[in-house]
């Protein structure tokens, strides 16, 4: 038996009484398990397995190819973003990215903490910051913690640090980072970033960022576009919930 703190990221009905759940655990990474009796009104899990809930669970790891067996789940926090659909969709988007970009039994405790904090912020009764800001920071943090973060400090091709030209910075979606003037020609899928947007991405890429601040609306919408396109290229397709992510 293994104990873990988990975010419930997917629940699929398996039978009249049971469900298959996908859990993003702090201790073990993604865990896919069958929860027998989970659909009973007074089942053993006491409605703890709602999508995006934070739980403490006990599971039995099975042999390769078989679903694990979930035996206990204690609810720690339910995800309830009042009546704001943008925050609900943002929470579902967090779950989608965790499922698509992480692997079974590959733990990322720091990413778990960022995801947990993001969902907690999205579920606040009186939010201090917009959902779009939390989501953009989560996406950049996820890329950094999983090793997919683009190069923002210097040209990804030659290492040249002078990447600003005429108030803009070339960013190669396929190249995986910013490009200097010499390396820009011939590259496909290159977008042009304003300096404020580039500086914001550089700041958010740091692991020791302090307090989040709200960028200007134009900059925020620019960030939304470039991060969305970068993730689409990384995944090979557009995430299903991405189109519901709000701008500033």
Q: pLDDT tens for the chain, 248 residues: list them.
A: 899 999 999 999 888 888 999 999 999 999 999 999 877 777 677 778 999 999 999 999 987 778 999 999 999 999 988 778 889 999 999 999 999 999 999 999 999 999 999 999 999 888 888 899 999 999 999 999 999 999 999 999 999 999 999 999 999 999 999 999 999 999 999 999 999 999 999 999 988 877 788 889 999 999 999 999 999 999 999 999 999 887 77
Helix (H) or strand (E) holding 203: helix 195-204
Predicted pLDDT of residue 156: 96
**Residue 14 backbone phi and psi in degrees, to 5:** -110, -40
Strand partners, 60: 69
What is this structure's pTM?
0.92
164: exposed, middle or buried (Cβ count in 10 Å: 0-12, 13-18, 19+) = middle
Cβ-Cβ contacts under 8 Å for 194 (sequence gap 6 or more): 167, 168, 169, 219, 222
Predicted pLDDT of residue 83: 75
Between the alpha carbon of residue 170 and those of residues 5, 149, 215, 219, the distances in Å are 41, 16, 20, 16
Between the alpha carbon of residue 10 and those of residues 4, 39, 111, the distances in Å are 16, 14, 18
Predicted pLDDT of residue 115: 98
Predicted pLDDT of residue 161: 94
Predicted pLDDT of residue 20: 94
Q: How many residues does the chain have?
A: 248
CB atoms within 10 A of CB 45: 23
Predicted pLDDT of residue 129: 86
Predicted pLDDT of residue 193: 96
């Amino acid at each position: 038996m293994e104990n873990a703190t988990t975010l419930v990221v997917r629940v699929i009905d398996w039978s009249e009484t049971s469900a298959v759940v996908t859990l993003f655990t702090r201790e073990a990474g993604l865990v896919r398990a069958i929860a027998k009796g989970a659909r009973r009104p007074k089942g053993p899990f006491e409605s703890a397995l709602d999508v995006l809930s934070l739980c403490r669970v006990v599971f039995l790891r099975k042999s390769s190819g078989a679903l694990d067996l979930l035996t206990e789940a204690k609810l720690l926090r339910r995800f309830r973003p009042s009546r704001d659909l943008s925050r609900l969709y943002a929470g579902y988007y967090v779950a989608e990215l965790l499922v698509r970009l992480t692997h079974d039994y590959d733990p990322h405790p720091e990413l778990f903490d960022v995801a947990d904090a993001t969902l907690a912020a999205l579920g606040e009764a009186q939010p201090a910051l917009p959902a779009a800001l939390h989501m953009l920071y989560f996406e950049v943090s996820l890329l950094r913690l999983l090793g997919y973060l683009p190069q923002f400090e210097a040209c990804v091709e030659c290492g040249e640090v002078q990447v600003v030209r005429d108030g803009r910075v070339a960013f190669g979606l396929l190249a995986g980072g910013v490009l200097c003037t010499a390396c820009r020609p011939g590259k496909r899928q290159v977008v042009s970033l304003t300096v404020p947007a580039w500086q914001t991405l550089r700041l958010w890429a740091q692991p020791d960022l302090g307090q989040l601040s709200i960028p200007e609306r134009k900059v925020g919408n620019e960030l939304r576009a470039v991060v969305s396109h970068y993730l689409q290229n990384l995944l090979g397709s557009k995430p299903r919930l991405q189109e519901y992510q709000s701008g500033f």
